[in-house]
Structure 1
Amino acid sequence: MGFGSGVFYSRLHPRLTDFVKALPTGRGRAFVFATSGLPEIPLAPFTRPLVQLLEGKGFDVAGSFSCRAFDTWAPFKLVGGINKQRPNVEDLAAARVFAERLRDGKQART
Structure 2
Amino acid sequence: MIHRLISAFLLAVAIPFAAAQSFSELAADGGPSRHHRLVRAAQKEGSLALYTSNAAPTIQALGADFEKRYGVRVNAWRASSAKVLQRALTEKRANRWDFDAVSVSSPELEALYRENLLQE
What is the TM-score when the length of structure 1 is the normalising length?
0.35
Greater fraction of residues in strand: 1
Which structure: larger Rg?
A: 1
What is the TM-score when the length of structure 2 is the normalising length?
0.33
